[in-house]
A and B are shown apart, each in its own frame.
Chain A
Amino acid sequence: MRPHYEIAFLSVVLALSSALHAVLVHAQAPFDADAYREAKRVATETFLDRTKPKTVRVAAANGLRYPDDKTFAALLSVGNDRREDEEIRLLAFQRHRYDDEYIESVLKILATASDGGAILRAGLIDDVSQRTTFKLPPELRARIVTAFRARLTDRSPLVRLSAFRALVAAQDLQAVDLLVEALRRGRNLPIPKASAIALLDLDGPTKHIATVRPYLHDEDPQVQAQAAHVLSSDPDSRAELVRLATSTSTPELVRVAALRGLSREDESFETYAIALMRNPEETPDVRHQAMKTMAGRLNYEKSSPETQLRFAEAVRRLAEGPRLLGAKGLDVGEEAKKLLGNLRRSFPAVRKRYAQ
């Protein structure tokens, strides 16, 4: 380049970069520490002010950020104060750090029948079980488990549900046993049937097949759906699940659950999944679910190029066909378009057939 062109070129570059810098600087507002601290102070004061309305205090809880020691002490005081509203007490504990004072206060509340209602107790069980996923000192773990086990027979269904969720997630034999026994009896369930089956699914779907089998034809579609998911790993239930998944008289909730489970377990899944995708008589949500679960199956299982192409063709038809909107406004065609792009990227056979 000749020198004067180089100078001109450099000048343009410098001018452009200065302009860009100015734009960027104005686009990013600098962090205002004073404003942050002030907002936190106001939120803390509002939350701790017992004269303020509950809704205002609840809204202020989000602004507490990470409290200082003085605020932690105040939060503990609010949490332990029986005169306070349950929700406020729960928020106070949720915002408190996990330390000995926190856990001692929470265990005391859980052990005291007259302290706190269902919202507080269920919320504390959830909070503790989330915060204690790491290894605990054994004595403390035993105390927590004992406290939770005592709540398995709490009067409040909300508290019972929290306790079962926390304990089944830890594979507690007592909690799992209670659910299994109640489901076998079919009555006096401590938590809703659908939740009980969902928790046994969490414990391990192949561990509770015989217990869950009777519920595949429960009158409640929620229960049926949960049972369908568990029983996808039951060879004896396979034929029935396929029938439920492909029958238009089955509640949609159940069909979706059956498809999800079958996509994991059934080697012949593609035959009916693709047929569902192609069937214009089917609802958009069922066609979408068949597409989604089939895509999931291809993610995890090896598939032949023929299967990939059959599936891609079914996806293409959904992408290019008449507009299909699911019950919650989901645009099935748009989802299909995105999926087709992914299939092209993932499978050479599809890329070759549907080169853009």
Chain B
Amino acid sequence: MRSERAHRACVVRALLVLVALGSLTENARAHEAAAAKTVQTSLGALQRSDGETEHRVVARALDALRRLGPAARDAAPVLVELLSHDAALYQGRDKLGVLRLRAYVLLVLGEIGLPDAARPYLIDALAHVDERMHPVEVASAVRAAGRLGASGRDLVPYLLHLFRQRFGEEELTLTRYDAEVPKGEATTVQREIVRALSRMCSADDVDALALLERLAHGDAGSELDPRLEDEARAALAAIRTRGATLASRAPAEPAAPAPLATPWTVREARKPLRNLDIALVDHAGAAHVLSDLIDRPVLLTFFYSRCQNAGRCAATVAQLAALQRELGERGLVRSVRLVAVTFEPQFDTPERLRRFALDRGLALGPDALAVRLDVARHPKLVEELKTPVSYSAGWVNSHGIQAALIDAEGRVVRKYVTLLWDNRTVADDLQRLVQDSASR
């Protein structure tokens, strides 16, 4: 009798567990379905958005994805497309709107899961920081980097470099899209860096640990925010705990390095540029047609004199000057041509082009020119080269760094993207093109 009762009780318990499991599974399925629907709706809204779309409408769609967290990871590819400077979402939009939306897209990507394809944009945001950037742009990128955890360790040097920038202590919020900072939500770039380091670093990251130690003991400098002491102590505790836990685990797979250049395109696969018959004026006021300048291998890049970020355009032209010296050492100066095109032909007069280039060490002449394209045709080349830039009323809102390697037949061979290119790599590539032409 007793055993029968016990048996019945077991069966009932088993049935109850099955029902509960079934119900949980049902709930999970319903939740997943709801999440998928939210992702679909939000993606639809984002894909339909352009420069005219009210920015809060875009923000609401992003918020919906943010709330789902990793459950919205399927939305990541679309969000990565929205990080592109030339995305339709940003064209014609005021600069403030562009930087806020881009920052928010990056922030949300960090929370739903940052795919490898987004890494070049993250590096772009962290590596080319200037004091005149808005703190919200930087803080969003820092938080997104932190979300990578250990797989983002290669980004730690950028965070350490950022730490002492002027805007580091300006308060902002990353909890919401709105600029208003409610009490209790304030954060700063510096705080985000400390939190990110706590997630990314291990006991091997000596520079990061040294900074955190100094912060934790309040001796990192009197000009630093004393509230960082508590954050730093928490970060050190987290790193030490994780270090002990991970000791028994296999090391995390390092992330694939972000691609800094497109692959080399073999001769047969190269497509000729369609927009080469564009009139231009160079730094000396002389008129040319772009195709005239491409009678030998060319490295073509963009800049503009109003760029306020010393880590972008000024550094780009300075890098071009350094490349020129490298080419000089290889005896290639007369065999190739360096062309720096202004993003803003309506503003950069020949005098401005000349001044900007000379001040950054570029020796101008027939082998290295700073030019402005015909205003009406300029957008054609920008579009064809998929140059990372967004405009509002003809003025640059945001832009990335890119240089295009073009052969003597006017065909793009490869592009160097995201970070300032490595001059030895580019010089090698130019030399290869010169040799290819000579052997024909």
Contacts and interface: CB of A to CB of B under 8 A. Distances in A.
A208 B395 contact: no
B247 interface: no
11 contacts: A138-B188, A138-B190, A142-B169, A173-B135, A177-B96, A204-B95, A208-B95, A233-B393, A233-B395, A236-B394, A302-B351
Q: Chain A: interface secondary structure?
A: helix
Contact of B224 (A138, A211, A302): A138
A142 B228 CA distance: 14
A209 B181 contact: no
Interface string A143-174: 00110010000000000000000000001011
Most buried by A among B134, B169, B227, B392: B169
Contacts of B311: none
A141 B169 contact: yes
Interface of A: 135, 137-139, 141-142, 145-146, 149, 171, 173-174, 176-178, 180, 204, 206-211, 233-236, 265, 267, 301-302
Given A138-B225, A235-B346, A149 B93 contact: no
Contact of B395 (A135, A138, A206): A206
Contact of A142 (B135, B171, B178): B171
Contacts of B393: 206, 209-210, 233-236
Contact of B95 (A139, A142, A149, A206): A206
A180 B56 CA distance: 13
A208 B96 contact: yes
Contact of B94 (A135, A209, A236): A209
A180 B346 CA distance: 26
A139 B96 contact: no
Given A142-B225, A210-B93, 19 more contacts: A135-B166, A135-B223, A137-B223, A138-B190, A139-B226, A142-B188, A145-B170, A173-B96, A173-B134, A173-B136, A173-B172, A173-B179, A176-B96, A206-B393, A208-B96, A210-B94, A210-B393, A236-B394, A302-B349
Contacts, number: 83
A135 B168 CA distance: 12
Interface string B76-104: 00000000000000001111110010000
Contacts of A174: 179-181
Nearest to A173: B179
B346 A210 contact: no
A139 B94 contact: no
A138 B223 contact: yes
A207 B100 CA distance: 13
Most buried by A among B188, B190, B393: B393
A163 to B, nearest CB: 14
A142 B189 CA distance: 13
B14 to A, nearest CB: 59
B134 A210 contact: no
A145 B179 CA distance: 13
A209 B351 CA distance: 26
B186 A142 contact: yes
A180 B223 contact: no
Nearest to A149: B181
A180 B94 contact: yes
Interface residues of B, number: 38
B180 A207 contact: no
A263 to B, nearest CB: 15
Nearest to B51: A210
Most buried by B among A210, A211, A233: A210
Contacts of A211: 94
Chain A to chain B: the 3 pairs with minimum beta-carbon distance, closest first: A138-B169, A177-B179, A138-B225
A176 B149 CA distance: 34
Contacts of B171: 142, 145-146
A314 to B, nearest CB: 23
Contacts of A138: 168-169, 188, 190, 223-225
Contact of A139 (B134, B135, B227, B349): B227
A142 B225 CA distance: 10
Contacts of B172: 173
A135 B306 CA distance: 25
Contacts of B351: 301-302
Contacts of A236: 393-394
A176 B190 CA distance: 23
Contact of B392 (A141, A173, A209, A302): A209
Nearest to B394: A235
A215 B27 CA distance: 53
Nearest to B167: A171
Contact of B96 (A141, A207, A302): A207
Contacts of B224: 138
Interface in B204-260: 222-227
A270 to B, nearest CB: 15
B395 A139 contact: no
Contacts of B347: 265
Most buried by A among B95, B179, B186, B226: B179
A180 B224 CA distance: 32
Contacts of B392: 206, 209-210
A142 B392 CA distance: 32
Contacts of B94: 180, 207-211
Nearest to B344: A206
A302 B351 CA distance: 8
Contacts of B222: 137
Nearest to A142: B171
Most buried by A among B92, B97, B100: B97
B197 to A, nearest CB: 18
Interface in B395-411: 395
A137 B228 CA distance: 13
Contacts of A234: 393-394
A206 B92 CA distance: 12
Interface in B339-390: 346-347, 349, 351
A171 B92 contact: no
A175 B168 CA distance: 19
Interface string B178-210: 111100001010100000000000000000000
Interface string B298-332: 00000000100000000000000000000000000
A206 B347 CA distance: 12
Nearest to A137: B223
A233 to B, nearest CB: 7
Given A142-B171, A174-B180, A235-B346, A207 B225 contact: no
Most buried by A among B100, B166, B180, B190: B180
B339 to A, nearest CB: 23
Contacts of A149: 181
Contacts of B169: 138, 141-142
A302 B285 CA distance: 12
Nearest to B180: A174
Contacts of B223: 135, 137-138
A235 B169 CA distance: 37
A139 B351 CA distance: 45
A171 B95 contact: no
